Amino acid sequence: EMYLNQVYLGNNVYGIATAAQFYFHVPASKLTLTQAALLAGMIRAPNNYDPLGHPRAAWLRRNDVLNRMIGLGPTNGGVTYQRGAKAKKQPLGLAKNVGQIHLPTPPFIVDYVKQQIHDNPNGWYSFLGATAQQRDKALAEGGLSIVTTLDPSWQHAAQEAANQPWAATPSHPDHHPTADVGLVSLDATTGAIRTMLSGKHYQKDQVDTVTTVHQPGSSFKPYVLTAAFEQGILPTAIYSGVQGVIPDPRCMTNGQPWVVTNAEGTSLGSMNLYDATAYSVNAVFARLILDVGPENVVAVAHEMGITTPLPAVCALATGSVGISPLDQASGYQTLADGGIHCKPFAVAEVLRGDQILYRQRPDCQQVVPAPIANLVNDLLKGPVTYGTAASVFSSGWGKWPIRGKTGTAQDNTEVWFAGYTPQVVTAVWVGSQGRPYPLADYWGYDVFGATVAAPIWKAFMLNVLQGYPAERFPAAGLTTVPNVIGKPLAEARQLIRGAHLQTAAQVVPSYLPAGTVVTQVPSAGTQVVPTQVVTLSVSNGVAPIVTLPDVVGSPLSSANGALGAIHVFVTVVDQPVKQSAKSGIVLSMSPVAGTKVKEGSSVTLVVGVGPKPSPSPAPSPSPSPSPGNGKGHGGGGGGNTALAFVSRAVP
């Protein structure tokens, strides 16, 4: 009985009782023999034996069932030959207005889950069959209970937010389809889909606004930022905000150069990426993507959760390539969870009776280094605190720290707001159904991401975040490269890892003990983006042969620099000279210039010391300074420059 109440019988009809009403307009208890046989025959393949789409096949299948009943006979639950033969001559007997009964249209989640099981993009539903046809058959045969991840209270909150008076869409003057809403909300730590609002009236319109693609506008910029920071570009980097032609040949379309305008329609001055993100300056991001490379942005976006194929074009920087609200929520989830991407899923469990056939486990992996994700999160604080969406959240927002980004498509045809707390991610899209029309045609004025999409997001999130603690985002910022020259490689790597950086090492000839760091790039003290690579040159313990440069006639400081660059020790011998012009000048060197020596060898320089100045008249003249103390004066340094090894000897 339970199976018959759940079995699929075509045309979105489940269960014998519903099918009796749908096909014959009678309760199940009033079904005739021919009607019952028709429904029983459909169970094997409801789409193939659909009496509406395939009446001949349905008629033959019904008669096959009747033949089987004749074979059983009346004593075994069948029928007599006479009764069965008479029934086989009857038409299908469908109701005159078949299907015209009030059956609730399934919500969007039902269609989405069925499509996911059919496509099986992640291989999760292979337990229902290896092919799409097998999986469809498993669903059609019924008997399964599918538990989704949706929260009904969240779904209600989304519907309420989309129906707020300020979100009401005026009619288009030319009677085009009204603007609509797509909203997706995910658990930020698992990827579980908690809300899917596909339009305000999906069960009436049957329009998918959740998985279809729309231009994201500036809400795509976080993917450009992530790719930029992974390449070591600093958030403090300065770019021009002047709009106009971008002459780079990579950005040409049909032989025409790329022309970029800012949302305000005016050029802006130079600024860093913090302000460019907060104020959503297209001209800055157009120049940034040239440094990053569109192909790298595509790779990062796909890693973060964008499943839509993306062309590697410059227009990605301004969000001119379509993605879906579901993908957008999935990509932002990666940032919310510190660079860990969890594939979104809508099915929690699949059961047959009390038997659990499948239980979904979060499918997550680190795809963006956590320090990079934290840095992007830090920049996405700007739009909601002092940038494009600040007016929405300056009052009436709760205790929860949030990050987010507005987006407005070309010609203001579609607007977005995507944002998150560390626990919940939500993406909101507003636009016209089908062909995009400027939203100004509906509202009578230009509409941006902060005009409608962000208020819907705010109303929804204020509702669903009740009961969640105000969890803060991890601290973010640049890191300082430590000085590791002269340290053993193992210790150097530990220090660099402690600064959230990576290492790459190469072995070079050097007089220093094997395994000692000789040089580093970047140099010590440099401020860099976390996770960047510090390249170390490590000694192999074998001193290379170097040729002594000619430093005779050079100032001592220049000589020290030239000899220090080839890693030789310098001993200075002072020699008095009568001409002040020779004071501080190298008079001779030993070994002489051109001699080949091992790195780490010693070179003696004779340096002139000029006449002592005459003492000023005084009752008791001060004693002259000592000519030298014979102690070494080794210098310190960092970066790529070797130490200058200098000692002074008494002549």
- How crowded is residue 401: how many other Cβ atoms within 10 Å of its Cβ? 14
Judge if 458 and 339 occupy the same domain: yes
Q: What is residue 261's predicted lDDT score, i.e. its pLDDT?
A: 93
At 361, the pLDDT band (50, 70, 90 cuts) reads very high
Q: How far apart are CA 383 and CA 391, in angstroms?
A: 10
- How crowded is residue 508: how many other Cβ atoms within 10 Å of its Cβ? 15
Judge if 504 and 369 occupy the same domain: no
Judge if 510 and 553 occupy the same domain: no
Q: What is residue 632's predicted lDDT score, i.e. its pLDDT?
A: 36
**Among 88, 113, 136, where does a domain finish?**
88
In this structure, is residue 113 part of a structural domain?
no
**Among 476, 499, 520, where does a domain finish?**
476
- Work out the average pLDDT over 592-618: 84
Judge if 600 and 645 occupy the same domain: yes
Judge if 236 and 302 occupy the same domain: yes
Domain of 498? 479-539
- Work out the average pLDDT over 340-369: 95
In this structure, is residue 99 part of a structural domain?
no
Judge if 309 and 439 occupy the same domain: no
In this structure, is residue 175 part of a structural domain?
yes
Over residues 482-509, the pLDDT tens digits come to: 999 999 999 999 999 888 898 999 999 9
In this structure, is residue 24 part of a structural domain?
yes
In this structure, is residue 139 part of a structural domain?
no
Judge if 245 and 392 occupy the same domain: no
Q: How far apart are CA 503 and CA 552, in angstroms?
A: 40
Judge if 377 and 472 occupy the same domain: yes
DSSP H or E stretch at residue 508: strand 502-508
Q: Provide the number of structural domains found in the chain.
A: 5
Residue 521 belongs to domain with CATH number: 3.30.10.20
Q: Which of 78-92, 124-138, 161-175, 294-308 has the highest mean pLDDT?
A: 294-308
Strands 239-241 and 403-408: unpaired
Over residues 127-184, the pLDDT tens digits come to: 999 999 999 888 877 678 899 999 999 999 999 999 886 555 556 566 566 778 999 9
In this structure, is residue 118 part of a structural domain?
no
Judge if 400 and 428 occupy the same domain: yes
Helix %, strand %, coil % for the chain, to 5? 35, 20, 45
In this structure, is residue 202 part of a structural domain?
yes
pLDDT above 50 for 98: yes
Over residues 31-63, the pLDDT tens digits come to: 999 999 999 999 888 889 999 999 999 999 999
Residue 421 belongs to domain with CATH number: 3.40.710.10
Judge if 436 and 366 occupy the same domain: yes
At 627, the pLDDT band (50, 70, 90 cuts) reads very low
Contact 457, 325 (CB under 8 A): no
Taking CA 102 as the corner, what is the angle to CA 99 and CA 106, rounded to the nearest 5 degrees?
A: 90
Judge if 189 and 237 occupy the same domain: no
Q: What is residue 611's predicted lDDT score, i.e. its pLDDT?
A: 75
In this structure, is residue 124 part of a structural domain?
no
Residue 228 is encoded by which pair of tokens?
């930029």
**Mean pLDDT, the chain, whole residue set:** 88
Contact 543, 576 (CB under 8 A): no
Under 8 Å CB-to-CB from 192, ≥6 apart: which residues? 149, 186, 344, 345, 346, 348, 362
Residue 541 is encoded by which pair of tokens?
């313990």
Q: How far is CA 373 from CA 109, 226, 296, 427, in A?
A: 31, 7, 16, 18
- Work out the average pLDDT over 549-564: 95
Who wins on pLDDT, 216 or 630? Answer: 216
Beta bridge partners of 507: 538
Could you tell me what percent of the chain has a pLDDT over 90?
A: 68
- The angle that helices 370-379 and 325-336 make with each other, rounded to 10 degrees, is 110
